Amino acid sequence: MKERIRNFCRYRFLLGELVKKGIKLKYRRSYLGILWSLLEPLLTTCVLTIVFGTLFGNNDPTFPVYILSGRLLYSFFSQSTTGALKSIRANASMIKKVYVPKYLYPLSSVLFNYIIFLISLIVLAALAAVYRIVPTLYLLNTIPCLLLLLLMSYGVGMILATIGVFFRDMEYLWSVILMLVMYTCAIFYPPERLLNSGFGWILKLNPLYGVIANFRNAIFGEPMHMKMFLYAAVFSLISLLAGLWVFYKKQDEFILQI
């Protein structure tokens, strides 16, 4: 363990460069650059509010904040895990030339998306202020939710990065799975509709929904739902341990597949 920590410290500068590279590549040839991370979720929220608010008769005045809070967390999970899935193959040329700890590639993919995600939270704070949502002490509960989201994304990303090397179709399969995850996160509809229909178990089985629901509770001044949080925490820990184990077990075979 000490050797791995020393190895990580030895390459921390490279990790920082990979994170910077990821941010630059994401907004390459974009006139707005990093500002697009603020504008894009706002525009998407406007569309979703019109479709699922106005047209479907949702009269909740804070509905845009409800949508944006769920969408931001889901978008980070989607983009970071997809990036981690492709990270090994995307850096195949570097892996073949020089030795670099291979776990840095999925880690950098998750971290640069996390930085962009944190920046995009500025839009959520501004929108909450516009709709006069008064912050309470429960707002501090956003911190464990955000940390849990990071661990969950990295754990799942490590598993996907390993599978993606040996099974290229995983990229297409994961996009379908992400669609299912999105519809079971109650991003643009009240969870009561599903909970009261007898299909509430679908939401409860989705650990990402537990993170999103508790994040929303913190924003709207409601206490944390501990059962959902603990379930998401256990899932994140298991996925992280499983991801690290399978990645380290198979990483020596990557060079034969990329």
Digit-by-digit pLDDT tens for the chain (258 residues) are: 666 677 777 778 888 888 888 888 777 766 666 677 777 888 888 888 887 766 666 677 888 899 999 999 999 999 999 999 999 988 888 888 878 888 899 999 999 999 999 999 999 999 999 988 988 999 999 999 999 999 999 999 999 999 999 988 899 999 999 999 998 888 888 887 777 777 777 888 899 999 999 999 999 999 999 999 999 999 999 999 999 999 999 988 888 777
Compute the distance between CA of residue 73 and CA of residue 77 in angstroms, rounded to an integer: 6
Which residue has 């030339």 as its token pair? 97
Q: What is the DSSP letter of 137?
A: G
Domain extent at residue 35: 31-256
Domain count for the chain, please give it.
1
Q: Looking at the domain assignment, is residue 19 inside a domain?
A: no
Whole-prediction pTM: 0.91
124: buried, middle or exposed (CB in 10 Å: 19+, 13-18, 0-12)? Answer: buried
215 in Cβ contact with 150 (< 8 Å):
no
In the structure encoding, which two tokens stand for residue 8, read together? 């990580």
Q: Looking at the domain assignment, is residue 55 inside a domain?
A: yes
Q: Looking at the domain assignment, is residue 21 inside a domain?
A: no
Q: Looking at the domain assignment, is residue 1 inside a domain?
A: no
Q: Looking at the domain assignment, is residue 246 inside a domain?
A: yes
Q: What is the DSSP letter of 223?
A: -
Q: Looking at the domain assignment, is residue 16 inside a domain?
A: no
Q: Looking at the domain assignment, is residue 11 inside a domain?
A: no
Q: Looking at the domain assignment, is residue 20 inside a domain?
A: no
